[in-house]
Chain A
């Protein structure tokens, strides 16, 4: 059965088109990663699928049930973990989880039993009876995950589960999520991080400006990106002359963002060597030069052929360029 199936979903907030016709579907038992920069529409889509908000147009089915026609039936089958840990500071971890169990219509006994199980799985048993205000940020995220699992959902929605946690906790969370998936939960996960989608997701959808712009396994997407890139940071006056050096090497014009020029490294280290030699011969000294893995920015460049701050950037003040601080 299909876990999620959306058809031409749109969501408008006044002038802003948070979603602009998203059609995606995936089957049960997999991890689907929704990858996109700030403001892409990830949270908006999750909120519609979790019955928190209604689409402006289009339809969405979760476990075969229409989210607008029968939200209650959908809620019985889903779990939601937020971008911010939605747990009560003044309750203990166990109390938080048991409360959610009761609200999933479990009996008091069953809630208690499952809370034990879930806390164990999430490795919070030792801290379970402490008030949440004594927890670290990573622990709160884990507790939030525990709360979203106590109803044994068929489909779990996790919105940026690792945003804002330190790298150690991030690895922890990844482990936990992988355990969950092994136990058979279908997962829809949003993220801004390519490596996260890469590690966790069986299939990845790339979303930008409310549109699904690419879909596939992580390998498929990477092949479309063509592997590594060479990026140089040129001095102000050298941008045009540097571009003139790079173009014949890449066989296409470099992508220029401010002082940064990027070309695909079709021959890996050899491309880098060629670039260094070419610049040297032309008497250009760049500030910085590097061979690196493609970032999310490069994904967008490759997929859309433009920098993610498009013509209509006003509506989206927090595009990926904003995040990088621009050069």
Chain B
């Protein structure tokens, strides 16, 4: 009888291997089913183009655009955040599909780290988000967007957005594990997202909103991240004119993002452990 030696506890390096294996598996799915990547890409690019040409003219005349130049310069930072957040719903969808296919059962019967199924999922979704963000910047450039403060600041801005997308992936992981049904989660995932994205500075500045809405819009994470990204991407005079405090916005963004991860990652792992009890 071949007896595997009892392995007392998983080492850190084993856990990292599990996460890497699952991340790779999830990324492969995007590459092998090209439709997935194509649609995940087309939708945000379509949003970018629509918003720019539909709203652009009207908004340039009313907003702080005088300082910003074309609307596209205001829009790009916001729409990066918007697409990253929309993209995070795929975490919930992917998990419910794995649940239904029985893949999660197989994983749970293996001597692997419990957290790896979830970290591998959020990692892969964040990587896919990086690709989408890069493509949006390229399309933005073609339709008139320009760096305000150089390449490094843009890179930093993209990192901020990705980090936030990662946090939102954990929120969506919780939704997926709690709701468990793919169709339901496709709808439910957008419920918290819509008000957060539209009652924010993503598309337009918040100062024309009614007071009660403004109070919400100005203090919620999506506005804060969008404005932090703007403070890194708009020309410096524009940032000053609008009155963005760059370092404060960046710290607030990081705090929100870290806070969301600290709450939702452990919650997701707990939901995962209890999934069939």
Residues on A lying within 8 angstroms of B by beta carbon are 28-29, 47, 50-54, 72-73, 75-80, 82-88, 90-91, 95, 99-100, 102-105, 131, 147, 151-152, 154, 184
**Given A86-B106, A99-B21, A152-B2, A76-B111 contact (CB < 8 Å):** yes
B9-38: which have CB < 8 Å to A?
9-10, 14, 17-18, 21, 25, 28-29, 32-33
Cross-chain contact of B4 among A47, A84, A99, A151 (Cβ < 8 A): A151
Given contacts A53-B276, A184-B1, 6 further A-B contacts (CB under 8 A): A72-B111, A76-B7, A80-B106, A82-B106, A105-B14, A105-B112
Contact B3 A154 (CB under 8 A): yes
What residues of chain A lie closer than 8 Å to B211, measured between beta carbons?
none
What residues of chain A lie closer than 8 Å to B29, measured between beta carbons?
88, 90
Check: B110 CB closer than 8 A to any chain A CB: yes
Interchain nearest-CB distance for A320 vs B (Å): 24
Complex: chain A residue closest to B20, CB-CB? A102
CA distance in complex: A121, B83 (Å): 47
Contact A100 B110 (CB under 8 A): yes
A interface footprint on B74-110 (CB within 8 Å = 1, 0 otherwise):
0000000000000000000000000001110111111
CA distance in complex: A80, B32 (Å): 27
What residues of chain B lie closer than 8 Å to A87, measured between beta carbons?
103
What residues of chain B lie closer than 8 Å to A147, measured between beta carbons?
106
**Given A73-B6, A76-B6, A90-B33, A102-B105 contact (CB < 8 Å):** no
Complex: chain A residue closest to B101, CB-CB? A86
Complex: chain A residue closest to B9, CB-CB? A72
Cross-chain contact of B25 among A28, A72, A91, A152 (Cβ < 8 A): A91
Interchain nearest-CB distance for B98 vs A (Å): 9
Most central of B17, B21, B32, B111 by chain A CB within 10 Å = B111
Interchain nearest-CB distance for B183 vs A (Å): 19
CA distance in complex: A154, B112 (Å): 17
CA distance in complex: A28, B1 (Å): 9
Most central of A76, A78, A147, A152 by chain B CB within 10 Å = A76
A-B contact list, 6 entries, CB within 8 Å: A72-B10, A75-B112, A77-B3, A102-B17, A103-B18, A152-B4
What residues of chain A lie closer than 8 Å to B276, measured between beta carbons?
47, 52-53
Contact B3 A104 (CB under 8 A): no
Number of A-B contacts (CB under 8 A): 94
Contact B4 A86 (CB under 8 A): no
CA distance in complex: A50, B107 (Å): 11
Interchain nearest-CB distance for B106 vs A (Å): 4
Interchain nearest-CB distance for A130 vs B (Å): 12
CA distance in complex: A154, B3 (Å): 7
CA distance in complex: A103, B2 (Å): 19
B103-138: which have CB < 8 Å to A?
103, 105-112
By size class, the interface of chain B is 20 to 34
Contact A53 B277 (CB under 8 A): yes
Complex: chain B residue closest to A56, CB-CB? B277
Cross-chain contact of B110 among A54, A104, A131, A152 (Cβ < 8 A): A104
Chain A interface SS verdict (over half): loop
What residues of chain B lie closer than 8 Å to A52, measured between beta carbons?
105, 108-109, 276
What residues of chain A lie closer than 8 Å to B10, measured between beta carbons?
72, 105
CA distance in complex: A79, B4 (Å): 13
**Given A131-B32, A151-B4, A152-B2, A51-B25 contact (CB < 8 Å):** no
Cross-chain contact of B102 among A84, A100, A152 (Cβ < 8 A): A84
Complex: chain A residue closest to B26, CB-CB? A88
What residues of chain A lie closer than 8 Å to B109, measured between beta carbons?
50-52, 75, 78-80
Contact A88 B25 (CB under 8 A): yes
Complex: chain A residue closest to B2, CB-CB? A152
**Given A78-B109, A102-B17, A154-B1 contact (CB < 8 Å):** yes
Contact B1 A75 (CB under 8 A): no
What residues of chain A lie closer than 8 Å to B105, measured between beta carbons?
47, 52, 80, 82, 86
Cross-chain contact of A75 among B9, B17, B28, B110 (Cβ < 8 A): B110
What residues of chain B lie closer than 8 Å to A76, measured between beta carbons?
4, 6-7, 111
What residues of chain A lie closer than 8 Å to B277, measured between beta carbons?
53-54
**Given A50-B109, A54-B277, A91-B25, A72-B7 contact (CB < 8 Å):** yes
Interchain nearest-CB distance for B24 vs A (Å): 8
Most central of A76, A91, A102 by chain B CB within 10 Å = A102
B244-277: which have CB < 8 Å to A?
276-277
Enumerate the 6 nearest inter-chain pairs by beta-carbon distance, A residue then B residue, closest first: A86-B102, A90-B32, A75-B111, A80-B109, A86-B106, A103-B112
What residues of chain B lie closer than 8 Å to A80, measured between beta carbons?
105-106, 109
CA distance in complex: A80, B112 (Å): 14
CA distance in complex: A246, B25 (Å): 63
Contact B6 A103 (CB under 8 A): no
What residues of chain B lie closer than 8 Å to A90, measured between beta carbons?
28-29, 32-33
Complex: chain B residue closest to A96, CB-CB? B25
**Given A28-B1, A99-B21, A152-B2, A82-B111 contact (CB < 8 Å):** no
Complex: chain A residue closest to B276, CB-CB? A53
Complex: chain A residue closest to B25, CB-CB? A99
Complex: chain A residue closest to B36, CB-CB? A90
CA distance in complex: A167, B17 (Å): 40
Contact B32 A103 (CB under 8 A): no
Contact B102 A82 (CB under 8 A): yes
Interchain nearest-CB distance for A235 vs B (Å): 46
What residues of chain A lie closer than 8 Å to B101, measured between beta carbons?
84, 86
What residues of chain B lie closer than 8 Å to A28, measured between beta carbons?
1
